[in-house]
Amino acid sequence: MTKVTMTVNGKSVSAETEGRTLLSAYLRDGLRLTGTHVGCDTSQCGACVVHVDGKPVKSCTVFAQDVAGADVRTIEGMANADGSLGVIQQAFQDHHGLQCGFCTPGMVMSAAALLAENPKPSEHEVRHYLDGNICRCTGYHNIVKAVMAASGQDVSALAAE
């Protein structure tokens, strides 16, 4: 076992790991930050997306020991300082961008990464960027709408074509 230390949501943390401990397990089992979900274990579903040094990463395919010392941000670190929902989180609630909530943490983290790179994405750019995140409940309609709304765009008239 090796003690791995990193910064998670602004705080320095550490937990014991085996060589095979994944970042997702480090967060969930080691730190009890269970907002990061594991839906597939094969890097397909995206429910486990977190930010590592500002970049979106599927935490089920990264060894915890490989990101020792990194600055990690999870869904638990996305609310405003006063505890209220951040802009993207609020847009997801306003536009019914979630149902069962299981894919939601990964969706929010991916959306945050997109908007950091591209503050006013088109519908196509949003859909393309979220291709690594599967949602089974929403048919993606309201997720795409929420992400565009979070970027400050008017979504009242969005429809196909």
Partner 1 sequence: MPKDHGIGASSKRREDIRFLTGKGTYTDDMNIAGQAHAVMVRSTVAHGRIKRVDTAAAAAMPGVLAVFTGEDFAAVGGNPAGWLINSRDGTPMREPKRPVLAHGKVRHVGDAYAAVVAETYQQARDAAQVIADDSEIEELPAVVNMAAAVANASNRVHDEIPDNVCYDWGWIEDNRAKVDAAIKSAPHVTTLELVNNRLVPNAMEPRASIGEFFPGTQDYKLTTTSQNPHLTRLLVAAFVLGIPENKLQVVAPDVGGGFGSKIYHYGEEALARCAGRRNAASPSCRTRMAETT
Partner 2 sequence: MTKIELACDLEGNFIAFRTETLANVGAYLSNFSTVTPTFLHGTLMAGPYKVPNVYVNVKTVFTNTAPVDAYRGAGRPEATYSLERVVDKMCRELGLDPFEVRRKNFVTTDMFPYTTPVALAYDTGDYHATLDKVMEMADVAGFEKRRAASAAKGKLRGMGLSTWIEACGIAPSHLVGILGARVGLYDAATVRVNATGNLSVMVGAHSHGQGHETVFAQIVADKLGIPESSVEIVHGDTAKIPFGMGSYGSRSLAVCGSAMSKAVDKIIAKGKKIAAHMLEAAEGDITFEDGKFSVAGTDKAKTFGEIAFSAYVPHNYPLETLEPGLEETAFYDPANFTYPAGAYLCEVEVDEGTGKVDVVAFHCADDFGNIMNPMIVEGQVHGGVGQGIGQALCEFTTYDENGQLLTGSYMDYAMPRAEDVPFYNVDYSCQTPCTHNPLGVKGCGEAGAIGSPPAVVNAVIDALQRGGHKHVTHIDMPVSPSRVWTAMNA
Contact 101/89 with Cβ under 8 angstroms?
Answer: no
Judged by CB, which is closer to partner 2: 71, or 140? Answer: 140
- Return the closest-CA partner of residue 43 out of 137, 141, 131, 146: 131
Judged by CB, which is closer to partner 2: 60, or 70? Answer: 60
What's the distance, Cα to Cα, between the start and end of the chain in Å? Answer: 55
* 137 in contact with partner 1 (CB under 8 A): yes
* 87 in contact with partner 1 (CB under 8 A): no
* 60 in contact with partner 1 (CB under 8 A): no
User: Which residue stretches of the chain are H helix?
Assistant: 23-25, 87-94, 104-117, 123-129, 141-150
Using alpha carbons, list the distances in angstroms from residue 101 to 55, 106, 107: 22, 10, 10
Q: Applying CB under 8 A, which residues contact partner 2?
A: 39-40, 42, 44-45, 96, 99-101, 123-124, 126-128, 130-131, 133-145, 158-161
Contact 74/82 with Cβ under 8 angstroms?
Answer: no
Shortest approach of partner 2 to residue 11 CB, angstroms?
Answer: 31
Judged by CB, which is closer to partner 2: 15, or 115? Answer: 115
* 96 in contact with partner 1 (CB under 8 A): yes
Helical (H) or strand (E) element with 29? none
* 52 in contact with partner 1 (CB under 8 A): no
SS3 74: coil
Q: Which of partner 2, partner 1, none sits in contact with 150, Cβ below 5 to 8 A by type?
A: none
* 141 in contact with partner 1 (CB under 8 A): no
Binding positions for partner 1, rule: CB under 8 A? 18, 20, 28-29, 32-41, 45, 47, 74-76, 78-79, 85, 89, 92-94, 96, 98-105, 108, 134-137
